[in-house]
Amino acid sequence: MTTPQPATTHVRPNYMLIWLYLFVMTIAEVLLAFELPVSQNIKLILLLFLAVWKALLVALYFMHLKFERWRLRLIFIVPLPLAAILITVVIMEKVF
């Protein structure tokens, strides 16, 4: 069953600025991995933080999740806790 869709308007993001953010963060990641004299654990946390930040920028602004309805966002969000459960359960099997 289909229903007419209301026309929605919003302010379009500055895509080139997001591209610049992604570019700078990619360079920062490479420098962090090879040049910055910090401990391995801090490096790991910072690299994962940068990767998640970049992925969020792509999902929110390029995939327009920021402007979608919650019902649609849920489709993308629901697998994430399932993924976390999957990894946790397997890790627990390895540990115990």
Partner 1 sequence: MQTSATTDTMRPPYPAESGAGVYSNKLGMWVFLASDVMFFTALIGSYVILRFGMTEPWAKPGAVLNVPLTGINTFLLICSSVSMVKAYAAIADGKKYFLRKVAGQTLQDGGLKFWLLITIICGAGFVGVQVFEYIKLVGHGFTPTGYREGSVLAEHALADPVKYGAGVAGMYGSTFFTMTGFHGFHVTCGVVSMLYLYFTKVLPEKYSPQDYRGIEVIGLYWHFVDLVWIILFTIVYLI
Q: Where along the sequence are the contacts to partner 1 (CB under 8 A)?
A: 1-5, 7-19, 22-23, 26-27, 29-30, 32-34, 43-44, 47-48, 50-51, 54-55, 58-59, 61-64, 67-69, 71-72, 75-76, 78-80, 82-83, 86-87, 90-91, 94
Using the minimum distance from each CB to partner 1, give the nearer residue, 38 or 76.
76
Least CB distance from residue 50 to partner 1, whole Å?
A: 7
Could you tell me how far CA 41 lies from the centroid of its own chain? Answer: 21
For CA atoms 81, 42, 32, 16, give the dihedral sign. Answer: positive
Instruction: Fill in the amino acid letter for 1.
Output: M
d(CA 63, CA 59): 5
Least CB distance from residue 92 to partner 1, whole Å?
A: 10
Contact between residue 53 and residue 25 where contact means Cβ atoms under 8 Å apart: yes
Least CB distance from residue 88 to partner 1, whole Å?
A: 9
Cβ neighbors of 20 (< 8 A, separation 6 or more) are none
Least CB distance from residue 80 to partner 1, whole Å?
A: 7
